[in-house]
Structure 1
Amino acid sequence: MVSKVKRLLIGRPMKSAEIEGAKLGKFKALAVLSSDALSSVAYGTEQILLVLMAAGFAAVWYSVPISLAVLGLLFILILSYRQTIYAYPAGGGAYIVAKDNLGVSTGLLAGGSLLVDYILTVAVSSSAGTDAITSAFPSLHEHRVLIALVIILVLTVMNLRGVTESASVLATPIYLFVVAIFVLIAAGIVKYATGGAPAHVPEFGAAVSNVSLFLLLKAFSSGCSALTGVEAVSNAIPNFKKPAERNAAATLIMMGTILGAMFIGISLLAYWYGVAPDEKQTVVSQIAESTFGRGAVYYAIQALTALILVLAANTAYSAFPLLAFMLAKDKYMPHAFMVRGDRLGYSNGIIFLGVFSALLVIIFHGNTENLIPLYAVGVFIPFTLSQLGMMVRWIKLRPPGWTTRLAVNTIGMLTTLSITLIFIFTKFTHVWMVFVFLPIVMWTFFAIARHYRNTADELRIDPAEEKPCIKGSTIVVPVAGVTRVVMNSLSYAKSLTDNVVAVYVGFDDEDIERMEKKWAEWDPGVRLITLRSSYRSIIRPIMKFIDTIEWKTAETDHITVLIPQFIAKHWWQHILHNQSSLLLRAYLYNQKDVIIATVPYHLRR
C-alpha cells in the first residue's frame, strides 16, 4: 500500500543511467533557480519606500538613486558569481569558495548561513503566498498555517518527482509573471509619457531636511532584499546539462538581466506615479491599478504575483539538497544527504528542508515577518565571504586580468559587508538569533566531522599486521516455552554448531519446575539453562548469563544470541504481544559486543 502511494506521488524509479536526461537546460533552469530572485520584485521597491517614508513623502524620490545603487550591486554580484561558476564548476557556491580560500571554519559559516537561509526561504515564501490567498479570501485567514503547510507539502512532493518535472510545472507561471511585469512596466511608461501620471510627485533632487546618511543606508540595505536567491545558480551547477558551467553562467546572466530590468522599472514607476507604501495594498498592486484600473489585467498581475511568491520557495528546493550533498561529502553533514532517491534527486535533503520549514511555519503560526531580516542576513553573510574568498584566490593565483577581477570582488565585498553590518545595527532585535543559531550549526558540523573521523580511526586496520581471528561459536537461544517458534530457532542454531544452549527466565519456582519438566519430555538435544528473576525482568538475568558466557569463552568462541520471533499476519496484531524479543535485541545492540541474530516465524492466521 505504502509503495503504491509512493509511486503515485513521485513516479517510477529512474535508472542511474538516466541522470543526464534529468538535468536542466538554460530555460528550465532559469524557471527553477530564479523564482526566489525574481519574486523579490514584488517587495524590493516597497522595502526601500517603507524606510524613506520615515522622512516624509518628499523623500520618496531617493528611491530612484537607491534602486540604481541596488542595480549596481546586482551587476557586481552577477559578475562575481559568473567568475565563481567558472572557477568552481562542481558547484557549492559560497561554501566551496570560502572553504578553499579562507579556511574550513569560514566555509562552514558560509554553508551554514545558506542552509538556514534556504529553510527560511521556504517558510517565508509559503507564508507570503498564504497571505496573498487569505487577502483575497478573508474567511481562510484562521487556516493560514494549514494552507502554508499544504503549499510546502506540494512543493516537497513536486521536487521529489525530480528537477525536470518541477521545472516543467514552474516554467509557465514564472515566465507569465515575467511577461506580466514587463507589460506593466511598458504600459506604465507609455501612460507616464502621455501625461497620465499624477501631478503630486515630489521633485527629483529636491532637498529634504530630515534625510540622513544612516536613513539612506538603511533604505539601501532594505532594497538589497531584492538580491536574495542570486547565489542559487552557482550552488546548483551539477543540475545543469553539459557544458554545465557555460549553461549555468548563461542562466545567471539571463536572471540578472531580467531581475535588474524589472526592479528598476517598478522603482521608476513607483516614483513617477507617486506611490507610497500602504498596509492594505502593495506597491505593485498600486502601480497596476493606476495603469490598468481594477480590471482583468490588474487581477491577472495580482494572481501571478501571489503565485510567484509561493514558487519562490522552489529555488531553495533546488539549491539546499546540493549544498547539503557538498557538506556531507566533506563529512560535515550525515552521509544520508549524499544518497540519490528513486527520481535521482537528493531526496533526503528535500524532505529535511520541507520538514524544518514546516516546523518554522508552525512555531511562528504563519507570521514570519520577523524572520525576513534574519533571512536577509543569512544571504549577505555568504555573499560577503564568497567575495572575500574570490579576492584571496585572485591574489594567490594571479591569472591574466586578475586585477580587474580583484577590483570587482573588492567592491562587492565592501558593499555586502556594509549591508550586513547595517542590518545587524539597525535590526538587531530581529537578527540577534543569528549569533546564537549559527554557532550551534557550526558546532554540529564539527561534531559530525569528529564522529566520522573517530569512527574511521577505530575501524581502520593494518592489512600487513591484522588478520581475521578464527574462533569457535557458542549460540545462546532465549526461549519462552516449548513452541514451534523455539523449535524453528533451535533447528537453525544446531545447523551452525553443536555448541547451543537454551535460556529460560522464570519468575517463581513453580514456573521454572514446569518448564524443566516440559523440556525434558520434549528432549530437543539442547541443554536448557533456567534462570530465576526476582524482579520480573527477562532482560537483566539474560544479560548476566551472557556476561558469564563471555568471561568463560571470550578467547575461544564467538558468542551469538539467536532470538526467536514470530511475525503476526496483520500489522494490528503486533500490538497484542509484549515484543520482548525486540526489547532484548535493542538492549543487546547498545550494551554487548555479541552477534545478534533473529529467526522469524511467520504466523498464518
Structure 2
Amino acid sequence: MLNVTGILKRLVIGPARRSEELGETLLPKRLALPIFASDPLSSVAYATQEILLVLTLGGLAYLHFTPWIAAAVVTLMTVVVLSYRQVVHAYPSGGGSYEVASTNLGPSPGLVVAASLLVDYVMTVAVSVASGVDNIISAVPELADQRVLMALVFVGLLTAMNLRGVRESGRLFAAPTYLFIGGVLIMVGTGLFRYLIGDAPVAESAKYGIEPVPGDANLAGLALVMLVLRAFSSGCTALTGVEAISNGVPAFRKPKSQNAATTMAAMGIIAITMFVGVTTLAIVAKVHITDDACRLTGLTDCGSYTQRTVIAQLAASVFGGENSVGFYFIQAATALVLILAANTAFNGFPLLASILAQHRYLPRQLHNRGDRLAFSNGILALAIVAGLLLWGYKANVTSLIHLYILGVFTSFTLSQTGMVRHWNRELRTERDREIRRRHHVARVVNATGAVITFLVLVVVLATKFTQGAWLAVLAATLLFVMMRGIRRHYDSVAAELTVTDLRSEMVRPSRVLAVVLVSTIHKPTLRALAYARAFRPDRLEALTVAVDRDASTALERQWEDYGIEVPLKVLDSPYREITKSVVEYVRSIRRDSPRDVVAVFIPEYVVGHWWENLLHNQSALWLKSRLLFTPGVMVTSVPWQLSSSARADHPAARAPGSVRRGEPTTAPETDDVGTHH
C-alpha cells in the first residue's frame, strides 16, 4: 500500500528536488506573465458580460451606459497597475499589499489585507473554473448537467500541476494563455475591420428583445445611479489578480523588481487592450444577455434555451457561426485560460500563506516547501476550500461573482494608503532633488490609487453586500480573528519556552523512577525491560493492571519462575479501567516525590499492513496521550517490529529494532500495556 502510494505521488508531482535547486525554479518574464497574470488577462472573458448582465435588468434601455462604464474600468485598471509598479520596486520581498500595509499602517491593517486577499484568492479559483466550465458548455450544451463534476475535476488537475512546482506549471500554462491572447486580439481585430468596411458582425442574441425586471424599468435619479454603479462594480472583476505579481516578486529571475515591474506593465497593456476590444465588439454586434433566458423576448422555449457567453457569441458572429474553426478555437482557448487563470491564486495564496506563517499568523506547516519546492500545504488548502465553494454554489458564476472582488479592493485601498505613508517617510530623509521628484510623482500616483480604489470599495460594498458579498466579509472577518488568535498562541508559547534562568532550567531531577508496562512475559516485554535498565534509573519496576485476577496471579508466578530481578507491581482494577489505573498510579508517584521524574516505557508492536492495525487495539495510544499531559512524566515507546513490517518496507534489510521514520507505529494490544483479561 505504501509503495503504491509513493509511486502514484511521484507520477503526479515528479521526483523530489533538493533545496539547493530553488534558484533553478525562478521564472523568466515570458513564463511569469501566464503564471501571475492569467487571472486579470482572462477576466476579459466575463468582465464585459457582467456589465451587460446588470444593465439588462432594465431591458435594452440602459445598454448605452456600457462604453462609459468600460472607460471607468480602464481608468481604474491603469491607476492600479501604475500603483502596484511602485509597490514592486519599494517592497521586492514578495509581501505585496500585506507587507506594505503591515509596515506602514500597522499589524491590524496588514491582517485585514491578508484576510481579504486569502478570501479573494479562493474566490478567484471558484469563479475562474466555473466561468471556464460555462464556456465549455457554450460549445457543448449537452455537458450542462455535469457542470459541478467538471469544475471539481479541473480544480484537482490544477492542484496536481501546481504541486509539481512553479516553473513546471508555468510551462504548461504559457501556451494556452498566449493562444487566448492571440485569439481574442485576432477576433477583435477581424470584427472591428468588418465593422469598418460595412459588414459588422451580428450576435445570435441581437434579434431578441429583453423584458425588464419588474421595478428596474424606467429608472431615474438615485435608482439609475445605483444600477450604473452596480454594473461598474461587476465590471471591476477585470482587476482581479492584478496584485499577484507584487506578491510573487521572489519567484522572478534577477533583477527581480525590474522584471516584475516590466511583466506588470505588459499585463496591464494587454488586459486593457483586450477588455476595450471585447466591450467595443459586444456593442457593435449587439450582444443581448440576461440573468434569465426567459426574459429574452422572441424565444419559443426559454426553458430549454442555453445562453452562450458573450465571448462565444462574438466568436460565432465574427468567424461565421458556431461550427466554424475560429469559434471552437476561441471557446477552447477561453475555457482553458479561464480554468488556468485559477493558477494566479494557486501561486498567490501559498506565497502569502507562507509569509503569514513565517510571521506566526497561520500554522507553521504552511511555510514548508514540498518535494518540488512548492508550498504544498497552501496549495492543498486552497484547492479544498475552493472545491467546497464550487460544490456548494453548484459552480454557478452568477452566484459566485457576488462574493468576488470585495477583498481585492480592500487590499488595493490599504496598500496604496500605506505607500503614501512610505513615500512621506522617504521624503523626510531624502536630499537628492531628482530622487525627491520621483518620490513626489510616486506619491501622487499612489494617493490617486488610494482615493479611487476606496470609492470603488464603497460602491462594491453598497451594491453587492446584500447579494452575497456579506459572506465574503464574514469569511474575511473570521479569518482575521483566527489569525490574531494563532499569533497570540505562538507568542504565548514562545514566552513560556523562553529561558530566563539557565541554571535553574538545567537542574537535574533528584531521581529517575522507571516504570515498564507489561501484561505477559514475551519478547517485547523483555526488550522494554532491557531498554529501561540501560537508562540506569534510580528505581525500576514493572507495572501491570489486573483486569483478570487469575491471569494476574499466573503472571506473578511466571515472573518468579523466570527469576526476573525487576519488582512487579500489580494494580487492582475491578471495573476493568486500564488507562485510569496507570495514570493515577503514576500521578501518585509524582505527588509523593514532586522533584523526581517518572519514565514510563511502553512496549509496542509495529505491523506492516494497514489491515493488521485493525487486529490490534489502540489502548496504548490513549494511555500515552493521557500521560503526556502529566508534568514530570516522560513516555518512551519501545517498538517490536513484526516480520510483516520488514516485508512491507523495502529495502528489507533494516537494522533490528529500528522504526520506520515518519510512519506511525501501531499501539500495542491491551495485553501489551500491562493488563490482563
TM range (shorter): over 0.9
**Residue 494 of structure 1, aligned match among 533, 541, 544:** 533
**Residue 550 of structure 2, aligned match among 510, 519, 524:** 510
Give the structure 2 partner of residue 204 of structure 1.
none
Residue 219 of structure 1 deviates from its aligned partner by 2.1
Q: Which digits, 9 at most, give the CA deviation of each residue in 1:89-116, with x for residues without a partner?
A: 1011111111111111111000100001
The 2-side partners of 1:41 and 1:570 are apart by 52
Give the structure 2 partner of residue 375 of structure 1.
404
Q: How many residues align?
A: 598
Residue 138 of structure 1 deviates from its aligned partner by 4.4
Q: TM-score, normalised by structure 1?
A: 0.95
**Residue 233 of structure 1, aligned match among 221, 245, 250:** 245
Residue 119 of structure 1 deviates from its aligned partner by 1.1
SS in 2 for 1:13: coil
Q: Which digits, 9 at most, give the CA deviation of each residue in 1:357-376, with x for residues without a partner?
A: 11222333333532312211
Cα pair 2:134 2:309 within 8 Å, conserved: no
Residue 356 of structure 1 deviates from its aligned partner by 1.5
**Residue 571 of structure 1, aligned match among 610, 613, 629:** 610
Give the structure 2 partner of residue 586 of structure 1.
625
Residue 231 of structure 1 deviates from its aligned partner by 0.6
Q: Which digits, 9 at most, give the CA deviation of each residue in 1:404-447, with x for residues without a partner?
A: 32322222222222222122222222111234222211111111
**Residue 167 of structure 2, aligned match among 164, 168, 172:** 164
Q: Is residue 26 of structure 2 the alignment partner of residue 4 of structure 1?
A: no
SS in 2 for 1:369: helix
Compared CA separation, residues 592 and 368, structure 1 to 2 (3 A): farther
Residue 252 of structure 1 deviates from its aligned partner by 0.3
The 2-side partners of 1:541 and 1:219 are apart by 69
SS in 2 for 1:255: helix
Residue 153 of structure 1 deviates from its aligned partner by 1.2
The 2-side partners of 1:55 and 1:149 are apart by 35
SS in 2 for 1:343: coil
Give the structure 1 partner of residue 255 of structure 2.
243
SS in 1 for 2:179: helix
The 1-side partners of 2:269 and 2:542 are apart by 76
The 1-side partners of 2:280 and 2:390 are apart by 34
Partner amino acid, structure 2, of 1:145: V
Give the structure 1 partner of residue 454 of structure 2.
417
Cα pair 1:37 1:226 within 8 Å, conserved: yes
The 2-side partners of 1:443 and 1:591 are apart by 31
The 1-side partners of 2:426 and 2:28 are apart by 32
SS in 1 for 2:569: strand
Give the structure 2 partner of residue 346 of structure 1.
375
Q: Is residue 638 of structure 2 the alignment partner of residue 599 of structure 1?
A: yes
Residue 595 of structure 1 deviates from its aligned partner by 0.9
Q: Which digits, 9 at most, give the CA deviation of each residue in 1:547-600, with x for residues without a partner?
A: 122123332x32111100012243211111112222211222234441111111
Give the structure 1 partner of residue 226 of structure 2.
214
Q: Is residue 348 of structure 2 the alignment partner of residue 336 of structure 1?
A: no
Partner amino acid, structure 2, of 1:473: V
The 2-side partners of 1:435 and 1:515 are apart by 65
Cα pair 2:48 2:279 within 8 Å, conserved: yes
Cα pair 1:508 1:532 within 8 Å, conserved: no
Give the structure 1 partner of residue 576 of structure 2.
536
Compared CA separation, residues 534 and 81, structure 1 to 2 (3 A): same
Give the structure 1 partner of residue 81 of structure 2.
78
Partner amino acid, structure 2, of 1:9: V
The 2-side partners of 1:584 and 1:495 are apart by 23
Q: Is residue 295 of structure 2 the alignment partner of residue 283 of structure 1?
A: no
**Residue 186 of structure 1, aligned match among 173, 189, 196:** 189
Give the structure 2 partner of residue 457 of structure 1.
495
Partner amino acid, structure 2, of 1:479: V
Partner amino acid, structure 1, of 2:247: N
SS in 1 for 2:398: coil
Residue 514 of structure 1 deviates from its aligned partner by 2.0
The 1-side partners of 2:464 and 2:610 are apart by 54
Q: Return 160-169 or 512-521, whichever deviates more.
A: 512-521
Partner amino acid, structure 1, of 2:444: A
Compared CA separation, residues 465 and 523, structure 1 to 2 (3 A): closer
Give the structure 2 partner of residue 477 of structure 1.
516
Q: Is residue 274 of structure 2 the alignment partner of residue 259 of structure 1?
A: no
Compared CA separation, residues 590 and 356, structure 1 to 2 (3 A): farther
The 2-side partners of 1:65 and 1:368 are apart by 24
The 1-side partners of 2:621 and 2:579 are apart by 11
Partner amino acid, structure 2, of 1:457: A
Q: Is residue 330 of structure 2 the alignment partner of residue 301 of structure 1?
A: yes
Partner amino acid, structure 1, of 2:135: A
Cα pair 2:229 2:463 within 8 Å, conserved: no
Q: Return 239-248 or 360-369, whichever deviates more.
A: 360-369
Q: Return 417-426 or 233-242, whichever deviates more.
A: 417-426
Q: Return 575-584 or 192-201, whichever deviates more.
A: 192-201
The 1-side partners of 2:378 and 2:17 are apart by 18
Q: Return 567-576 or 307-316, whichever deviates more.
A: 567-576
Q: Which digits, 9 at most, give the CA deviation of each residue in 1:57-102, with x for residues without a partner?
A: 2432321222122111111111100000011010111111111111
The 1-side partners of 2:635 and 2:142 are apart by 58
Cα pair 1:373 1:423 within 8 Å, conserved: no
SS in 1 for 2:597: strand
- Percent identity between matched residues is 40
Residue 339 of structure 1 deviates from its aligned partner by 1.0
Partner amino acid, structure 2, of 1:291: V
| Gap runs ≥5 in structure 1 | 202-207
SS in 2 for 1:362: helix
Task: State the Cα RMSD in Å.
Answer: 2.0
Give the structure 1 partner of residue 442 of structure 2.
405
**Residue 521 of structure 1, aligned match among 551, 561, 581:** 561
The 2-side partners of 1:453 and 1:162 are apart by 32
The 2-side partners of 1:133 and 1:523 are apart by 79
SS in 2 for 1:595: strand
SS in 2 for 1:536: coil
Residue 313 of structure 1 deviates from its aligned partner by 0.6
The 2-side partners of 1:183 and 1:104 are apart by 47
Partner amino acid, structure 1, of 2:556: E
Cα pair 1:64 1:267 within 8 Å, conserved: yes
Compared CA separation, residues 586 and 369, structure 1 to 2 (3 A): farther
